Amino acid sequence: MRVDGAPARAGARLRAGSRVEVELPAAADVGLRPEPIPLRIVHRDDAILVIDKPAGLVVHPAPGHPSGTLVNAILAIDPALAVGLGQRPGIVHRLDRDTSGLIVVARDDAAMAGLRAQWQARSVLKLYLALVEGRPREPAATIEAPIGRDRRDRKRMAIDADGRPATSRYRTLAALGHHTLLEVRIESGRTHQIRVHMASIGHPVAGDVVYGGHPLPGLDRQFLHASRLGFSHPTTGEWLELDAPLPPDLAGVLERLG
């Protein structure tokens, strides 16, 4: 940095009318590359994409997952996508790596702003199908419990009085032996919310070994699927409500239990 043509020291005081010159380094290459990863597109227009994300796909690059993500796959569909900054172009919300289902991507700045406003206002319909262990005492109920980072294991989340408010509403769809199929609507969108809330009432999501669930034969993940997503289109204002059927691995579990 130079002030009035001379090199300036850190902490130097500026005077009114001083001329400050700063040389900015070239923007770092964030390393995002298009990758031809197959995706099922549920809805597509000039403003948004809605994807039925498969289990096992990380949403955006992060430590340990520099490539092979949903973002890389989207860039292969939309190479000019440059909405937002850094490693998350177009990403409005996320799903856990091993949770399948619907996720919306903004394709321009106006769409990003409109969608983010709806997520912040909690006006979005977010429904999940979850198979849990045991049978909840109440066939339908609301779980309101704040969620924060687990103080003993930073890779997990936990119920924490100092955490962020979180609300999940569930209703029973079917009793299947020692398991129960639930439809869960979340009003907030905290990390691992449904998994933490169901474990907190003694009914962890089946297959979710991180939060106390037991493995299911033929399934190598938790039984959790974002089945329905509803929101106002950020450009037209039209209400969109989209569905994603259970993928084969989860549908197979229900067949075996039924």
Q: Which two tokens stand for residue 224?
A: 């959790």
Q: In what order do the strands lie in the sheet containing 6-7?
A: 6-7, 2-3, 20-21
Whether residue 5 has pLDDT greater than 60: yes
pLDDT, residue 13, reads: 73
Q: What average pLDDT does this structure show over 206-234?
A: 97
Q: What average pLDDT does this structure show over 157-161?
A: 95
* Cβ partners under 8 Å of residue 136, min gap 6: 170, 172, 180, 182, 201, 203
Least confident of 53-62, 103-112, 224-233, 238-247: 53-62
Q: Which of 84, 52, 90, 85 has its CA nearest to residue 71?
A: 90
Q: What average pLDDT does this structure show over 92-102?
A: 95
The domain segmentation of the chain, as residue ranges, is 31-257
Whether residue 24 has pLDDT greater than 70: no
Q: What percent of the chain has pLDDT over 70?
A: 93
- pLDDT-derived band at 65 (thresholds 50, 70, 90) equals confident
Place of tokens 């290459």: 29
pLDDT, residue 72, reads: 92
Instruction: Give the number of other CB atoms < 10 A from CB of residue 149.
Output: 14
Domain 31-257 has CATH 3.30.2350.10: yes
Residues forming the active site: 96
Q: Which two tokens stand for residue 257?
A: 């239990």
Does pTM surpass 0.75?
yes
Whether residue 128 has pLDDT greater than 80: yes
Whether residue 60 has pLDDT greater than 90: no
Say how far residue 83 (Cα) sits from the centre of its chain. 17
Whether residue 220 has pLDDT greater than 70: yes
Whether residue 156 has pLDDT greater than 60: yes
Q: What average pLDDT does this structure show over 3-12?
A: 71
Convert the pLDDT of each residue in 29-47 to its tens digit.
456 788 999 999 999 999 9
Say how far residue 58 (Cα) sits from the centre of its chain. 10
